[in-house]
Amino acid sequence: MFVEGKIKKYDTERGFGFIKVDGHQTDVFFHIKDFPKAYGEPKIGEKLKFLIVEDNNGKFKAANIVRLDQKQAYIDYPNYANNSSTQNKSVSQQKHANHKGMTFMIIGLIVIAILGALVFKKYQSYAESKELKTAQLIAEQKKIVQQQRDALGELPEIKLSQKTENALQASTTVPVMNNQSQQSTANQTQFKCDGRQHCSQMRSREEAEFFVRNCPNTKMDGDDDGEPCENDSRW
C-alpha cells in the first residue's frame, strides 16, 4: 500500500535520507538507488509517494518512490509544451503559407513577363514582315516602270510645220483683237447723239470722244486734234 510523506533529511555525500510519513512517528529510510533518477537529487520538503518494504537485513525502507511535486510539474509542463508546440506549428504553417504565396506570385510575374516578350516578338516580326512587303512592292513598281521605259525607248522630238505654228499664233492673237473690237462696239452702243455739245455736259472722256467723232455741231475739240475736253479737270 502506498503512503505519502516528505523528505526530512538527505545526505548528499552518503546517498541516503529519511522520509517523514504522515500520521507516523517513525521516519522511513530511503537510498538514492531507489530514488527516481529524473529531476535531479532529492530535495528536503519534497513530497513523495512510496511503498514501505523490508530489506534483506530485516529493516524497513522506501521503495517504488514517486516524486509528487515533480509529477505535478510534469503534468503542467506537457500542457505548456503542447500549447507552445501548437503555436510553433501555427507560426510554421503561416510562414509556409506566406512562402507558398510568394512563390506563386513570383511564378505569375515570370509567366506574365514571358507572355509579354512573346507578344512583343510577334508584333516586331509582323512589323518587319509588313515593311519588307512594302519594300518589295516599291521595287516591283520601279522595275515595271523601267521595263516600260526600256520597251518604249527614246521618243522622237515632234517638230511642227510653219503653217501649224502660224495657226497657233493666230489663235492666240485673234481673241485679243476681237475683245478690243467688242469693247469698242459696246462703248458705241452705250452712247448716242442727243444734241449735247459741251464738255460740261459729258459724263466721261469716252463719251466726249464718241460725241466728237460721231455727233454734229460739238464744241469740245477747239484745236481739232481729236482729243476733246483737254482742259477738263474731271479726267
| Residue 217 phi, psi (nearest 5) | 60, 30
Kindly give the confidence (pLDDT) of every residue in the chain, 235 residues in length, as a single tens digit, with 9 standing for 90 and above. Answer: 888 999 999 998 999 999 999 888 889 999 999 898 877 889 899 999 999 898 888 888 999 999 988 766 555 545 544 555 666 666 777 777 888 889 999 999 999 999 999 999 999 989 998 899 998 989 888 888 888 888 876 656 666 677 777 777 776 554 444 555 555 555 556 888 999 999 999 999 899 999 988 999 898 888 888 888 888 888 7
Read off the pTM: 0.31
- Whether residue 200 contacts residue 235, with contact meaning beta carbons closer than 8 Å, is answered with no
- Whether residue 28 contacts residue 18, with contact meaning beta carbons closer than 8 Å, is answered with yes
Distance CA 7, CA 70 (A): 13
Domains of the chain: 2-72 (2.40.50.140), 182-223 (no CATH)
Alpha helices in the chain (DSSP H): 68-152, 162-190, 205-214
Tell me how crowded residue 201 is: count the other CB atoms within 10 A of its CB: 14
Buried b (16+ CB within 10 A) or exposed e, 41-70: ebeeebbbebebeeeeeeeebbeebebbeb
